Structure 1
């Protein structure tokens, strides 16, 4: 388990394409976001490797809130490659993220998913809320 590096971009892009169900990651957008996420002090991009190859990743953030009296952490993306599930990679990614979130004084970690409820419950995550979203169409830039 380690922080992602710029040299991991190709493998992470492949995993992101496998992860996404509602959106299709586009290369240009990925290439703009990837280095910014690595350099963002409030973001943590972790990778799980097997034999030197990236087989999973987790992208999460810490941000301030008013209701929780400070910081909270949010897992935005967590993905383990299909043939490498049930090997402890997802657990290791989440545990490493928890260490980082605690170091940033986050009061809790949240995430939204419909997948693998048994996995998250085994790691002591509990169902907390219903997740709503609204997809926004791209807006034309203002002059």
Structure 2
């Protein structure tokens, strides 16, 4: 377990998602992350970065998305920061997943997933930057204990 912060900068381009996935996989191997947690982190990052690119970067101007990871023996800290439009993804209530599909509102399931798999998740707007901070505990697989 390194305890070393790793960072990556992405452009507001959906093609960057492949690079992000490769970076996460490399980091997970370095940290001996269990496959389930890697899968969850991949989905969380994919959902939040995709939303940022599609809805937060509404002009053709270049934008940057910064992602950082830090893990210790108990907790993974994941931070996603961007210079897009101000938006708190956690301000909306979670969708009612007990309703039949045809009765549910469109959208919100990705953020619902983030809330479900991360132990902490919050949003702050600092100047012209959106920052989403998340923590996941208990990330080690049982055979690593």
Same fold at TM > 0.5: no
Per the normalisation by structure 2, the TM-score is 0.30
Per the normalisation by structure 1, the TM-score is 0.30
